Amino acid sequence: MRQKIGDQPRIVGFLCKWCSYAGADLAGTSRKKYPSNLTVLKVPCSGRIDPLFVLKGLRLGFDGVLVSGCHPGDCHYQTGNYRARRRIVITKKFLEYLGIPEERIQASWVSAAEGTKFARVVADVVENVRAIGPNNLFNNEG
């Protein structure tokens, strides 16, 4: 049986350390407000995000996953975000195959200067994922 998971929807965000995580920090230092539904996991580069992490998140009961890295062309490691972009496409395809709405994965490029944008991205992601409804596909036992 599905158990109650905090505030609905619950979202896990994979943020690269150089751009998006710093952008999220900037949202904080500038006291931008956004919904508390998203918890952040820091990765060195969006290229580190293994599609398995995304699937694991959904399997465990998160309603949505946000993947965020540096803007195309701005990757601290030159091309990591291009890899991430490709992997997101493939993972979405795979979700479709499993009958999971692809909107459960959301991606956005946020730079270290874009605190306001980060706050807006979170608000949008929360709204989009809420619109699909709770993720009841797995029994969330992990």
Partner 1 sequence: MINQMAEVLVEPRIGVYVCHCGSNIAGTVDVEEVSRFAGELESVKVARDYKFMCSEPGQNMIKDDIRELGLNRVVVASCSPTLHEPTFRRVCQESGINPYLFQMANIREQCSWVTEDHDGATVKAKALVGAAVNRVYYHEPLDVRQVSINPNTLVVGGGIAGIQAALEIADAGHKVYLVERTPSIGGHMAQLDKTFPTLDCSACILTPKMTLVSRHPNIELLTYSEVEDVSGYIGSFKVKIRKKARYVDMDKCTGCGLCQEKCPWKAPSEFEVGLGKRKAIYIPFAQAVPNKPVIDAEHCAYFLKGTCRACEKFCEAKAIDFDQKDEVVEVDVGNVILATGYDLFKPSGIYEYGYGKLDNVITSLEFERLVNSAGPTQGEILLKNGSHPKSIAIIHCAGSRDKDYHEYCSRVCCMYSMKFSHLIREHMAQTKSYEFYVDIRSFGKGYEEFYNRVVDEQTVFIKARPSKVTQDAGKLGDESKLVVHYASSDGTKHQQPVDMVVISTALEPQKDADAVGRLFGVSRSADGFFRERHPKMDPMATMNEGIFIVGCCQGPKDIPDTIAQASGAAGRVLAMISKGEVEIEATTSVIDEARCAGCRVCEGLCPFGAISFDAEKKVSRINEALCKGCRVCVAACPSAAISGKHFTTKQIMAEIKGMLIESKRGS
Q: Which residues bind partner 1 (CB under 8 A)?
A: 3-7, 10, 12, 18-19, 22, 24-25, 27-29, 31-37, 39-45, 47-50, 52-53, 56-57, 60-62, 73-74, 76-80, 83, 87, 111-115, 119, 142
Looking at the Cβ atoms of 71 and 128, the one nearer to partner 1 is 71
Plot region of 21 (φ>0 → left; ψ -120 to 50 → alpha; else → beta): alpha
What is the smallest separation between the CB atom of 92 and partner 1, expressed in angstroms? 16
Q: Which two tokens stand for residue 12?
A: 């896990």
Whole-number minimum distance, CB 130 to partner 1, in Å? 14
Q: Which two tokens stand for residue 65?
A: 């996953």
Torsion of CA 90, 69, 16, 125, to 10 degrees: -80
d(CA 117, CA 24): 9
Residue whose CB is less far from partner 1, 4 or 99: 4
The number of C-alpha atoms within 13 Å of 114 and in the hemisphere containing its C-beta is 17
* Nearest approach, Cβ of residue 79 and partner 1 (Å): 5
| Choice between 61 and 64, CB closer to partner 1 | 61
- Shortest Cβ 135–partner 1 spacing (Å): 12
Q: Where are the alpha helices (DSSP H) in 99-139?
A: 115-132
